[in-house]
Structure 1
Amino acid sequence: MDELIDLMKSTERQYISLADNPVPGLAVNIRSVRDELPHVEGMALPGDLKKFWSAWSSVTLFEDGDYGQWGLHFFSVADSRRTTERERSDRPSDFLSSDLVLAEFLGDLELLVMDRSGTSEKMLIALPLESRAHWPVVGDSLTDFLNRYVGSLGRKIWESSG
């Protein structure tokens, strides 16, 4: 996680034009907000999530700089809690009490969810029209997911390329 945070800090607020961008012709951006960083010590969270939220109050990865219709926006601690509670209320058969909604994909209704049930966490993509049984698993931890997502330059790694 430390290496990922360093990489993301070194490229934040920089638009990088990529010929192989998932959204052709658009720029890729890593934008972060460090205002009012949350106090996460003592919170019952996995270590990599504590480190992530200690680095930023929120962060947007691979944002489409022209239209805002691509990218991944990580919620602040407070927004994560609010979104998690709303999803549990709206979709009680899909969202478990051990879930934590961490982020939303811009331009879509897909959510990045950390399932903290059992002895370890896993990262899921909550699909808006699918039950939990059909949600893709995209990592064994936040660090695992971020390594895959950043390594794919912001592509939706759970979608087949055809």
Structure 2
Amino acid sequence: MPSDLTDFWSEFRAARLFVDTTFGQWGLVLHSPDEVRLLTEKFRARRTREYAAGDLVVGEFLGDSDLLIVRCDPSAADYGRVVVALPLDPRSEWYEVAGSLGRFFEKYERAHGAKFWEEPLLE
């Protein structure tokens, strides 16, 4: 398991980032290890064609069905990378958003919770 993920869980267990408190249609929910196991099992059962060994569904974006996945297969070249899984699109069209969970948090914070992978950031 990537160290930044285990570090996150040891500090926070779960989190809600940039959540729209009025309508609940914006933000990211990061789940506890127990919830992640259940979400990952559901994901693997529902999306067998897109699932890859080592996918771990760590979060869900509010307002749509996008999932935040950390690649956890230590033998894979993409170990530790973070991917956004789109609900209807094949894996080839998913976004690789960061090389690590820590780097994802930095980019997501800099974008103030916006989906920086969909549009270029204005800096």
Calculate the TM-score normalised by the size of structure 1.
0.69
- Alignment match of 1:124 (pick from 68, 83, 96): 83
Deviation at 1:102, TM superposition (A): 0.5
Aligned to 1:69: 25
Aligned length: 117
- State the match for 1:114 in structure 2: 70
RMSD over aligned Cα atoms: 1.1
Q: Secondary structure at the match of 1:54?
A: helix
Secondary structure, counterpart of 2:8 in structure 1: helix
Please state whether the residue corresponding to 1:128 is helix, strand or coil.
coil
**Distance apart, 1:121 and its partner CA:** 1.9
How far did 1:97 drift?
2.0
Q: Deviations over 1:81-123 (max 9, x none)?
A: 1000100010111011210001000111000001234143211
Identical columns (%)? 38
Q: Take 1:94 and 1:56, find their aligned partners in 2: how far apart are those partners?
A: 29
Structure 1: distance between partners of 2:118 and 2:2: 27
In the alignment, which of 53, 66, 72 is matched to residue 97 of structure 1? 53
Q: Give the match for residue 6 of structure 2.
A: 50
Work out which of the two has the higher radius of gyration on C-alpha atoms and give 1 or 2: 1
1:160, CA displacement in angstroms?
Answer: 2.1
4+ aligned runs moved over 6 Å, structure 1? none
Q: How does 1:31-50 map to 2 (within 5 A)?
A: 45-50=1-6
- 95, 98, 101: which one pairs with 1:136? 95
